[in-house]
Each structure stands twice: as structure tokens, then as C-alpha cells.
Structure 1
Amino acid sequence: MPVEPLSQKEIEDRLAELPGWSAADGRLTRSYRLGTHFAATAMVVHIAQVQEELDHHSDLTLGYNTVDLSVHTHSAGGAVTVKDFELAQRVEALAPGHGAQ
């Protein structure tokens, strides 16, 4: 079943429930800072597992002690959809366990 793009109002309303996340250039984005490179690497692996479970993948960048995500839905023409918010919520839920800020 195709996923429909969200309106700008729907995106703004949903972002209000996800501190630290923003929407720019048709994507949801978030950066996390962690205590060590190893902690950041572990978080990337955990996010990859969630992405596989959801069958929805972000652009995921590992820095020395940072993790950056950028996500949109290719099947919706590169727009932001509920799938992107589902992934963002799952990442937000796992981030504290990795000490991410």
C-alpha cells in the first residue's frame, strides 16, 4: 500500500513531539552526540537493526562521537511520511540507552 506524503502542518505537529528533530529540504534530520566513538558505533548498529525491522532506511552518518540521520520516503517521491516519523520515534526511544544527547 502506498504511503502518502504528510502536509507541512502534519509534519510540524509531529515534530513538536520529537525534540531535536527538524524538517529541512524534504527530510527529517537529527544529530546525536555520544560519549565515545564506540558508543556512537553501537548506536548505528542498533539503528540499522530497527531500520531492517521497519524496512525503512535513513541516510545514517557515523562521526567520531556523533550519529546523524536524514530520512524521507523514496516510494512517496522523496517526501516525509508517517514511516519517517515511525523510524524517528524508534530511534528516539533507543538513543538514551546509548547515552546519546
Structure 2
Amino acid sequence: MSREPLSQKEIEDRLRELPGWSFEDDRIIRTYRLGGHVAASALVSHIAAVQEELNHHSDLTLGYNTVRVSVNTHDAGSRVTDADFALAERVESLAPSHGAA
């Protein structure tokens, strides 16, 4: 998986495949809403496990019933790479099992 920064066009094209995700401040970002704090906490734990598996980590912000995921690749100059989209796709695939919207 490439850790070379993606162009603005590549990022925009890839975001079309990830509804709910956006690009701001050289990061891809999404906020999920869940049924309550326990569900949000469980999603954070699940994302953390995936991040360990991929050896690629995002910033996670836990709210009462929200989880905000914000990611870029530090060793690529804190720019967005394929690795960020791979993580986002994994998060997208597991979020519904936690009731995330």
C-alpha cells in the first residue's frame, strides 16, 4: 500500500466512494452518531483493533454518542495517502454493526 501523498483530484475521486467522509486540513474525516455512550465506546475499541492490525492510526474523538475519525499519514508529511483510505474503508465496513449512522 502506497504511503505517497495523493493529489487533490485523487482524494476527491476516492471520497465519492465514501459517503459521509470529507477532506479538511489535510485529513479525511467522518463523524458517526450512535445510540449512546456504550455503543460509541465499543466502536472506538473496534476501530483501535483495526488500526493495530493495519499499523496505521487515526485520531479518534469520543463524545457521548459520537465518534469522530480523522486521519492522515504522518510519515508522508501529514498528507492523505492510500493507507488513510484503506483505514476509512475498514471503519465504514464495521461501523454499521455498532449501529453507527
| The two structures share one fold, judged by TM-score above 0.5 | yes
Structure 1 stretches of 4+ moved >2 Å: none
Name the count of aligned residue pairs. Answer: 101
Encode CA deviations 1:2-58: one digit per residue, 9 max, x unaligned. 721000010000000000000001000000000010000000000000000000000
Question: Gaps spanning 5+ residues in structure 2: where?
Answer: none
Aligned to 1:46: 46
Question: Per-residue CA shift, 1:48-77, capped at 9, x if unaligned?
Answer: 000000000000010000000110000000
Match of 1:8 in 2: 8
| 8 Å CA contact retained: 1:33, 1:67 | yes
**Identical residues among aligned pairs (%):** 71
* Inter-CA distance 2–15: structure 2 relative to 1 (3 Å threshold): closer
Distance of 1:27 and 1:66 partners within structure 2: 18
| Unpaired stretches in structure 1, ≥5 consecutive residues | none
Please give the alpha-carbon distance, in whole angstroms, between the structure 2 residues aligned to 1:27 and 1:68: 12
Using the size of structure 1 for normalisation, the TM-score is: 0.97
